[in-house]
Amino acid sequence: MSVRAANAYRRVDLESAPKTQIVERLFERFAQDLELARTAIAARDVQARANALDHALRIVIELKASLDSNAAPELCANLAALYDFAIGRIGESNATTSAAPLADASRVMAELAGAFREAHGR
């Protein structure tokens, strides 16, 4: 399958997926990105580390941007603070070339993913 066809398939799959499934996929991909970053840090692969951390950051930023504070202001404020914490830990990891801060980001995001799945009966 060509890259172009694969990208088209992924786009159609994403556009037709329920929103809850998309959010679950984002949390899963975030965990994968952090694992890739840890591996890259250990291997001293600067480009792979940068790519993985950049993608993880984009996921967290997208999740934060999707919050609807009109629907639940206090909950959204709490979630935004947790997303900011994860963003900060990823930034710290990037700045120090250390995998240690990623454990904090991973833990918080895994807890949020679990709470999301529980809230949606999965």
CATH number for position 98: 1.20.120.340
Pick 122 or 61 by higher pLDDT.
61
Per the structure, the complete domain to which residue 50 belongs is given by 19-119
Overall number of domains in the chain? 1
Residue 13 domain flag:
no
Q: Are 108 and 85 in contact (CB under 8 A)?
A: yes
pLDDT of 17 strictly over 60? no
Q: CA 45, CA 105: separation in Å to the nearest integer?
A: 21
- For 1-5, 35-39, 85-89, 115-119, which range has the lowest pLDDT when averaged over its residues? 1-5
Tokens 């993913």, residue? 113
pTM for the full predicted model = 0.85
Least confident of 9-13, 60-64, 93-97: 9-13
How confident is the model over 19-28, as a mean pLDDT?
90
**Vertex 64: Cα angle to 111 and 104 (nearest 5):** 40
Domain contains 7: no
pLDDT at 16 over 90: no
Q: How far apart are CA 34 and CA 29, in angstroms?
A: 9
Decide if 94 is inside a domain: yes
Tally the C-alpha atoms within 13 A of residue 2's C-alpha that lie toward its C-beta: 3
Q: Tell me if 92 is assigned to some domain.
A: yes
